[in-house]
Amino acid sequence: MQIIKYPQQNEWNQILARPVIEMDEMDEVVNQIFKEVKTDGDAALRKYTWFYDRIKIDELAVSQKEINDSENFISNELKQAIQVAAQNIEKFHKTQQPESEVIETTEGVSCWRKFTPIDKVGLYIPGGSAPLFSTVLMLGIPARIAGCKEVVLCTPPNKDGKINPVILYACKLVGITKVFRIGGIQAIGAMALGTESVPNVYKIFGPGNQFVTAAKQTASKLGVAIDMPAGPSEVLVMADESSVPEFVASDLLSQAEHGADSQVILVSWKEELLEAVQIELNKQLKNLSREVIATKALNNSKMILVQSAEEALEISNLYGPEHLILSVKNEDDLLNGIQNAGSVFIGNYTPESAGDYASGTNHTLPTNGYAKSYSGVGLGSFMKSITFQKITQKGLQNLGPSIEIMAEAEQLEAHKNAVTVRLNQICQELA
Amino acid sequence: MQIIKYPQQNEWNQILARPVIEMDEMDEVVNQIFKEVKTDGDAALRKYTWFYDRIKIDELAVSQKEINDSENFISNELKQAIQVAAQNIEKFHKTQQPESEVIETTEGVSCWRKFTPIDKVGLYIPGGSAPLFSTVLMLGIPARIAGCKEVVLCTPPNKDGKINPVILYACKLVGITKVFRIGGIQAIGAMALGTESVPNVYKIFGPGNQFVTAAKQTASKLGVAIDMPAGPSEVLVMADESSVPEFVASDLLSQAEHGADSQVILVSWKEELLEAVQIELNKQLKNLSREVIATKALNNSKMILVQSAEEALEISNLYGPEHLILSVKNEDDLLNGIQNAGSVFIGNYTPESAGDYASGTNHTLPTNGYAKSYSGVGLGSFMKSITFQKITQKGLQNLGPSIEIMAEAEQLEAHKNAVTVRLNQICQELA
């Protein structure tokens, strides 16, 4: 990792700059595939599964039997671990049920909100070297708590055309029955547009590579909501003399192993700590099977030595990290100042991997600085709010004249008239 | 309005189909303007203000004096009306402060959420024939309650290069000081990218024509969040024999006057009502200054006669109207069944214009069916949530083994190791 000592404030933006992802070239591919999915439906899904995944798929839908049988291929140990995680995720997300009361803003004018589930949602689970079953839990559990009526899940098949049984087991556990062996752009296109087999949905969730990200953006232009824009995963660790270099190094590496483009930043006001972490990194790196990936990620990563905890906090808020690990003596001093971050891990015994898997918080978080404007996924991501209002005759007498004046000033005469005809009738009734 | 009697369920989708808006052609224009805003900054803003608005602008920023002086050009009556509206909007949005408690998901594992304001937000207020000062209240008040540090407002200048004083008065009232006389694509580009005069922001709010909408979509691709995708305004009125045809007609017209592309739908299970409303429409239409616009909108609009209240509700949920007016005898029977809508207006004395201006609910609402997946703007739109977690030694002993097993199954060895190094140390300490 590159060590930067006491940078000036005017250098911070440049030091914290993330790599720019060029998406323009992908638009053409995405548009073409979406067009074919729209016109050819399932046939287009099969065509592109052959083209990209080199698999001929007959049945796009995974059968209920396959889902049910999945548990036979998984160790009891893993099943139990998944259940522990699922329970915690359920417990934390259940408390996120938004509430609303009826507010009388003016006498006779009552306003309130109601939260309803998004009827149809789509979850995308990437393929690749490992089965990301944890994301099934992170998206499927809040969808179920929210009460989404239709939950569709797409994930690419392996070279035998199968879905990893752990993913299917997670689906079964959270109650997802509509699982399709489709990946990439064509999966997002299918959920956005609908085909003979795949129902269209109103919102699409889930991580993915740059193709999936581009496809989600296109879906979003078509009016299908998406969870958030995606970018490479990242962590910022703030540490002082109270932190354990071995632990800090293990956290940095668990971010670095995600991919060569992972962003890893360590900020400290203790120079010795940076050196100690560097030594630990080299030690632990050698034992990792993903050593090559992690090394590449670390080469792009930075250790920043700052003057004080306050400066570290400013840098962190400027960066807006997806994950923020706070391994410092006086954590309470810093906690209140955190403005921009996806998820925060506090203390020596709270590794990021706890939140990635099992503590209960969601691991679908804003990266690439989007923490400045986006929340991570939560129960609310699967719901929307509707406002309601009811006005009595008395209420309209109180409020009506103000509405008439404002509507007139905006030159919206019919808006004014909708009040006037009512006020006139109330007058007549009273006369 | 076209009257459709007792349509079959399989015809509903076609009857409710909204006009498709073709955006592709605008992308090129938007990309070009954004490119120039990025390279030339203020100069590009001046160039396109000349090109589109035919005005030469020296000072892009509206001076504090101009903002302060605005109140001298407005009647006391209008000022008071705006103040009434502002108080109600403030009252309703203040109650939307999201709350969170600390949850111990497993012994020693505490998780919670914190809601923080989006630091920098941009508000767009369209120009056109009338000054839409009400939108300044609807966006500026929740931004202030949320605690957004920097609120930037762009609105196109009139032919004298001025901003309508009512808009400036509303800015003053809600505390917005950074006001720029810039409209259209160049305004969205300025807030997304930043120039010498205009600060860049993290999220852009506000209505606009198809150019503004396309520009917001492009901003969104660049990582700047937006409130929601936009479309033509719309209302669905559900009415029975308890409703007053004069009132219903006035509500339909107040939607129709927005623009020729406004969507207006009346659904009823009382045939006589449809006829009575039609008569009232013709009567009221003649007196409107926007008669031509409203007539065009009504020509594209539909009255649907259905078998029952339940069928009406199904149709409404399928359509997902921006505004839903419920003018029926047994409203409570229907209220619980409303799943997809932006804002609901209940009873004979609750015209849509109440919510458009002054009752307290927000008028920035999802159109074009987006109510199926998006909420209208509220306090939460100006905030984001951060999750936090803190795990004790005991907590990690409880949860750690599950994390290790799951991380191993996802082949993320460093994730597992971040737990293992900690559990090992706890063991040593205990030994």
Catalytic pick among A234, A280, A311, A322: A322
Asked about B258 being catalytic, the answer comes back as no
What are the distances in angstroms from CA A68 to CA A152, A165, B300? 17, 10, 50
ipTM of the complex: 0.96
Residues A193-248 have pLDDT tens digits of 999 999 999 999 999 888 999 999 999 988 899 999 888 899 999 999 999 999 99
Q: Residue B130: what pLDDT?
A: 78
CB contact under 8 A, B389 and A425: no
Q: How confident is the model at residue A27 (pLDDT cuts 50, 70, 90)?
A: confident
What are the distances in angstroms from CA B352 to CA A346, A407, B345? 48, 12, 6
CA–CA gap between residue B143 and residue B141 (Å, rounded): 5
CB contact under 8 A, B411 and A130: yes
**Would you say B110 and B371 are in contact if contact means Cβ atoms under 8 Å apart?**
no
Q: Residue B62: what pLDDT?
A: 97
CB contact under 8 A, A425 and B244: yes
Taking CB atoms and an 8 Å cutoff, what residues of chain A touch B370? 223, 225
- Phi-psi sector, B197: left (phi>0), alpha (psi -120 to 50), beta: alpha
**Would you say A326 and B390 are in contact if contact means Cβ atoms under 8 Å apart?**
no
Taking CB atoms and an 8 Å cutoff, what residues of chain B touch A411? 129-130, 289
DSSP state of A359: S
Nearest by CB: B410 against A134, A370, A391? A134
Provide the angle, in degrees to the nearest 10, between the axes of the packed helices B271-285 and B245-256. 60
3-state SS, residue B384: strand
CB contact under 8 A, B387 and A376: yes
CA–CA gap between residue A48 and residue A211 (Å, rounded): 13
A201 CB-near residues (< 8 Å, 6+ apart)? A120, A121, A122, A150, A152, A191, A192, A224
Q: Residue B420: what pLDDT?
A: 97
What number of C-beta contacts closer than 8 Å exist between A and B?
417
CB contact under 8 A, B401 and A81: yes
Residues A301-316 have pLDDT tens digits of 999 999 999 999 999 9
Asked about A93 being catalytic, the answer comes back as no
CB contact under 8 A, B374 and A360: no
Q: Residue B127: what pLDDT?
A: 84
Burial category of B92 from C-beta neighbours within 10 Å (exposed 0-12, middle 13-18, buried 19 and up): buried
Q: Residue B21: what pLDDT?
A: 67
Q: Residue A230: what pLDDT?
A: 84
Taking CB atoms and an 8 Å cutoff, what residues of chain A touch B259? none
CB contact under 8 A, A116 and B339: yes
Question: Which one of A88, A105, A173, A428 would you mutate to disrupt binding with B, by most B Cβ within 10 Å of its Cβ?
Answer: A105
**Residue B159: both structure tokens together:** 């032919």
CB contact under 8 A, A402 and B288: no
**Would you say B332 and B322 are in contact if contact means Cβ atoms under 8 Å apart?**
no
CA-nearest residue of chain B to A341?
B386
Q: How far apart are the first and last CA of chain B?
A: 83
What are the distances in angstroms from CA A235 to CA A251, A334, A365, B309? 9, 17, 11, 53
Residue spans of chain B under pLDDT 50: none
Q: How confident is the model at residue A21 (pLDDT cuts 50, 70, 90)?
A: low
Shortest Cα–Cα distance, A172 to chain B (Å): 17
Q: Residue A300: what pLDDT?
A: 86
What is the percent of chain B with per-residue pLDDT over 70, rounded to a whole number?
A: 99
Q: Residue A20: what pLDDT?
A: 74
Q: Residue B209: what pLDDT?
A: 86
3-state SS, residue B259: coil
What are the distances in angstroms from CA A48 to CA A27, A51, A217, A337, A389? 16, 5, 19, 48, 49
Taking CB atoms and an 8 Å cutoff, what residues of chain B touch A256? 414
DSSP state of B61: B
Is it the case that residue A105 has pLDDT exceeding 80?
Answer: yes
Q: How confident is the model at residue A23 (pLDDT cuts 50, 70, 90)?
A: low
Q: Residue B300: what pLDDT?
A: 86
Type of residue at A287: N
Taking CB atoms and an 8 Å cutoff, what residues of chain A touch B133? 406, 409-410
Residues A50-81 have pLDDT tens digits of 999 899 999 999 999 999 999 999 999 999 99
- Nearest CA among A363, A92, A45 for reference residue A194: A45
- The answer to whether the Cα torsion of B53, B55, B60, B63 is positive or negative is negative
Enumerate domains of chain A plus CATH numbers: 2-20+231-360 (3.40.50.1980), 24-105+118-229 (3.40.50.1980), 392-430 (1.20.5.1300)
Query: Residue B63, CB half-sphere, CA atoms under 13 Å: how many?
Result: 6
Q: Residue B23: what pLDDT?
A: 65
Shortest Cα–Cα distance, A317 to chain B (Å): 10
